[in-house]
Chains A and B, each alone.
Chain A
């Protein structure tokens, strides 16, 4: 049992209070958006704090309206496609590259390292990137969501740092047993790499889930946009007519407002990815410090 001094106990109390207040401060915008999303127009437009919904002014009509527009399901489909497929491929390619860079006997290792580091510092900019995408035939092609984002320098460096930390003895013993590089990678290294895989998966999945700019710039077909672009259209344009059209019952008109529908739209895009966090949290905490010490 650790004995704490009075000073430490007092410090702990104040520490918990301040951190709790900070946590509440960061929680308020989310709570506000959620409250507005289940409020009637009257309650949403009323001036004042909106921490909790007003009793008697709670409604799910905004959510009904958001989900009844079929465009959102198509957009969700593409978001899920890019998140699942994009994350899987990105993690795979990043681990491949990172593992290769971690091998001490890799030929032209310095070149490959510098090559990827340069991409972290310099970028062609929006227009050269657009031209590149166009020349690759990726305009209005759903693979534009995945291929340009397949590998990132930062993630590769983090992955490399992790793989450097795996004892070389494991590779040597696998080699002695007759395993080739690929077999060693898949059967020895990858099973030991759950922390880095889950960390990368989380970072990449969140990036894919939140992306909308590539959808806006490279997609000309309205049927291939992602849900974030669809929601961004709603929020920025205040165009709730785009999703409030289908009606939610005879009381729907009373509960329609640009603010409530905007808030409901934001919640339906945030909640799914928020649910992903608890499952990877333990790996995330470990993974965040991966690149901190080893070089």
Chain B
């Protein structure tokens, strides 16, 4: 019996020690020695490449891989992961001490966590300026706040990438045949939008004698679409950080929110808003195609030659249907726009695995070449002109690069290691193309449509481009947003008064860590100021 007791205590102690052994404080950061990164390109380096998860199912030895190996004197061991479980796969590799040399990080929070756990190499800004000068200059010019994405406790742990496609604004869309039926024009202001939506709801725009149409529905139930253009018309991003009088504030705490919510509550009372706007799993596009709503605030360009466009599908049910487009409506002060992600995309980091830091320099050079050398970039992404793709300047698709017959199928492209993507990151070229290269890849049809209906000014962004860049965001942000949306929906549906919003939301804010988030956001602003000094921005 005594032996049993001693054994039990011993086992419990072993368990406790085992659990606590995993806890360890971070050691002091060692100063980076830039001489270790010097690379003349003569040494053949082996690089384990955990790239952006877009080539799941691809195998080693594709033409793109061989091209890069030959050109940069490297041997690449690619790790192809599924995009839906990329983080699981990455964490399994890191925690099993199998740290790749190149690690594509999807979120600044992942950079933060991996840097804290000492999986990432520190990459001084000076090194990036030296080895990837064009990328460095582009970030400083377009979106220097994105440097914060790679920041952790005074050091930089990655190279942020920027996606110019994210600066494409969404377009407002109306049933043109309904407008004609009710005798109205495409609205330009919030008040005019109200009048149009009211007519869509009450004046039988589809002419079927039934009261079965509505004005307004969300593009989707995602928080980004939550009456986005109405809030935007009052200069509010209700779920983001904004700058006001030189200070960071949370958009959802601005007093103007009550004004917008009062308007929306009135619209809901008038029946303008699709009643199931919260619980419906149908997208705005599906409601538009089903002849239920006559307006969408979040439309993208569609190839007019395709029979899969929203209009083409709509005309299968309603042959006389037509669509009209416009920039987002303006508010009383002339403000307009909708939430967008802005330039920033993800972060390319480098694993701290005991391998030579020269690989960082080699990769930075490679990425900078892809950023400046359009021919190289096209070969990496599209293959050989005339063999895997052709250039059609008269194309009505988004871009001018079309696959040849043998590469039309996306599976064939993927298995060959190609990604026909002129804007965003890819597995083999994780740094997105420059604005100039991106625009040269766009079709004239797309550009002409964009000039009429799009505007960079209509892309409203978070002060840091991502609300959850603050360290405590993973702990609090979901509960905060969900509580906020639930409260707003109650007000829109008339269950609470609009002038109660700030008071009620303040309670939610305080109980879901809002003050902590705000404090961290303001610290983030101070961190950015320090980063700007280091990267040479006034």
Identify the A interface with B (CB < 8 A): 41-42, 45-48, 69, 71, 126-127, 130-131, 134, 213, 216-217, 220-223, 225, 229, 232-233, 236-237, 241-247, 253-254, 256
Write out the residue numbers on chain B whose beta carbons fall within 8 Å of the beta carbon of A253. 306-308
Contact between chains at B316 and A69 (CB < 8 Å): no
Fill in one digit per residue for B74-118: 1 if any A CB lies within 8 Å of its CB, else 0.
000001101111001101100110100000000000000000000
Chain B min CB distance to A138 (Å)? 13
CB under 8 Å from chain A, chain B span 270-298:
282, 285-287, 289-290, 292
B414 touches A242 (CB 8 A): yes
**B290 and chain A: residue at smallest CB distance:** A47
Indicate the member of B79, B84, B286, B307 with the most A CB atoms within 10 Å: B84
In the assembled complex, how far is the CB of residue B343 from the closest CB belonging to chain A, in whole angstroms? 24
Closest to B308 in A: A253
The closest CB in chain A to the CB of B86 belongs to A216
**Which of chain A's residues has its CB closest to B84's CB?**
A236
B313 within 8 A of A: yes
Q: Closest CB of chain B to A161's CB: distance in Å?
A: 28
> What A residues does B96 contact at CB under 8 A?
127, 130-131, 134
In chain B between 307 and 353, which residues have their CB closer than 8 angstroms to a CB of chain A? 307-308, 313, 316-317
In the complex the two chains form, is B307's CB within 8 Å of A254's CB? Answer: yes
Whether B408 is near chain A, meaning CB under 8 Å from some CB there, is yes
A42 touches B410 (CB 8 A): no
Q: For A225, give its contact among B57, B292, B308 (CB under 8 Å).
A: B57
Given pairs A217-B89, A245-B412, A254-B308, 11 additional interface contacts (CB within 8 A): A45-B285, A47-B286, A69-B411, A130-B92, A130-B95, A217-B92, A222-B415, A242-B57, A245-B409, A247-B409, A253-B306
Q: Is the CB of A256 within 8 A of B57?
A: no
Across chains A and B, which 8 residue pairs bring their CB atoms closest together, nearest first? Answer: A245-B409, A222-B57, A241-B410, A236-B84, A47-B290, A127-B95, A130-B92, A216-B85
Instruction: Tell whether, in the assembled complex, residue A222 and residue B59 are in contact, meaning their CB atoms are under 8 Å apart.
Output: yes
B414: chain A residues within 8 A (beta carbon): 242
Contact A216 B82 (CB under 8 A): yes
B437 within 8 A of A: no
Q: Which residues in A have their C-beta under 8 angstroms from that of B292?
A: 47
A47 touches B89 (CB 8 A): no
* Alpha-carbon distance A253/B309, docked complex (angstroms): 11
Provide a sorted-by-A list of 16 A–B residue pairs whose CB atoms are within 8 angstroms: A45-B313, A46-B290, A47-B282, A47-B286, A47-B292, A130-B95, A213-B85, A216-B82, A217-B85, A217-B88, A217-B92, A233-B83, A246-B409, A246-B411, A247-B409, A254-B307
Name the one of A48, A71, A220 contacting B80, with C-beta atoms under 8 angstroms: A220
Binding site for A on B (CB under 8 A): 56-59, 79-80, 82-85, 88-89, 91-92, 95-96, 98, 282, 285-287, 289-290, 292, 306-308, 313, 316-317, 408-412, 414-415
Question: Which among B92, B282, B308, B317 is the interface contact of A127 at CB below 8 angstroms?
Answer: B92
Q: How far is the CA of A245 from the CA of B411 in the complex (A)?
A: 7
B215 to chain A, nearest CB (A): 16
Chain A proximity of B489: nearest CB distance (Å): 20
Residue of A nearest to B97 (CB): A131
Q: How far is the CB of A55 from chain B (nearest CB, A)?
A: 15
Cβ contact of A41, chosen from B82, B89, B290, B313, cutoff 8 A: B313
> B277 → chain A, closest Cβ, in Å?
13
Chain A residues whose C-beta falls within 8 Å of the C-beta of B56 in the assembled complex: 222, 233
Which A residues touch B410, using CB under 8 A? 241-242, 244-245
Inside 8 A of B286's CB, which chain A residues have their CB?
45-47
For the complex, what is the distance from the CA of A243 to the CA of B412, rounded to whole Å? 10
Which of B58, B317, B408, B410 has the most C-beta atoms of chain A within 10 angstroms of its own C-beta?
B410
Could you tell me if B308 and A41 are in contact, using CB atoms closer than 8 angstroms? yes
When distances are taken between beta carbons in the complex, the residues of chain A under 8 Å from B289 are: 42, 45-46
Complex Cα–Cα for A41 and B285 (A): 13
Are A232 and B84 in touch, CB under 8 angstroms? yes
Q: How far is the CA of A130 from the CA of B88 in the complex (A)?
A: 11
Which residues of chain B come closer than 8 Å to A245, judged between CB atoms?
408-412
How far apart sit A132 and B291, CA to CA, in the bound complex (Å)? 56
* Given A47-B282, A127-B92, A254-B307, A237 contacting B57 (CB threshold 8 A): no
Q: Inside 8 A of B80's CB, which chain A residues have their CB?
A: 220, 222
A61 to B4, CA, bound (A): 68
Residues of B within 8 A of A46 (CB): 286, 289-290, 317
Complex CA–CA separation, A93 to B91 (angstroms): 33
Cα of A82 to Cα of B424 in the assembled complex, Å: 38
- CB of A221 within 8 A of CB of B308, answer no
User: What separation, in Å, do the CA atoms of A127 and B92 have in the docked complex?
Assistant: 6
Q: How far is the CB of B70 from chain A (nearest CB, A)?
A: 23
Which residues in A have their C-beta under 8 angstroms from that of B290?
Answer: 45-48
Minimum distance in angstroms from B255 CB to a CB of chain A: 37
**List of A residues within 8 angstroms of B285 by Cβ:** 45
Residue of A with least CB distance to B310: A45
Q: How far is the CB of A127 from chain B (nearest CB, A)?
A: 4
- Shortest C-beta distance, A254 to chain B (Å), equals 6
Once bound together, how far apart are the Cα atoms of A127 and B117, in whole Å?
Answer: 15
Closest residue of A by beta carbon distance from B293: A47
Query: In the complex, what distance in Å separates the CA atom of A131 from the CA atom of B93?
Result: 9
Contacts of B282 on A, CB cut-off 8 Å?
A: 47
- Give Cα distance in the complex from A237 to B52, angstroms: 14
Chain A residues within 8 Å of B307, by CB: 253-254
By beta carbon, the residue of chain B nearest A230 is B57
Closest residue of chain A to B286 (Cβ to Cβ) is A45
List chain A residues, Cβ under 8 A from B58.
Answer: 222
Compute how far the CA of A45 lies from the CA of B292 in the bound complex, rounded to whole angstroms. 12
- Closest CB in chain A relative to B80 CB, distance in Å: 7
Chain A residue with the shortest CB-CB distance to B403: A245
- Closest residue of chain B to A130 (Cβ to Cβ) is B92
Pairwise interchain contact A216-B287, C-beta atoms closer than 8 A: no
From residue B378, how far is it (CB to closest CB) to chain A in Å? Answer: 20
In the complex, the answer to whether A47 meets B287 with C-beta atoms within 8 Å is: yes
Complex Cα spacing A134 to B409, Å:
35
The CA of A126 and the CA of B94, in the complex, are separated in Å by 12
The smallest beta-carbon distance between A219 and chain B, in angstroms, is 10
Taking a contact as CB atoms under 8 Å apart, the answer to whether A229 and B82 are in contact is yes
B82 touches A233 (CB 8 A): yes
B91 CB, min distance to chain A CBs, angstroms? 8
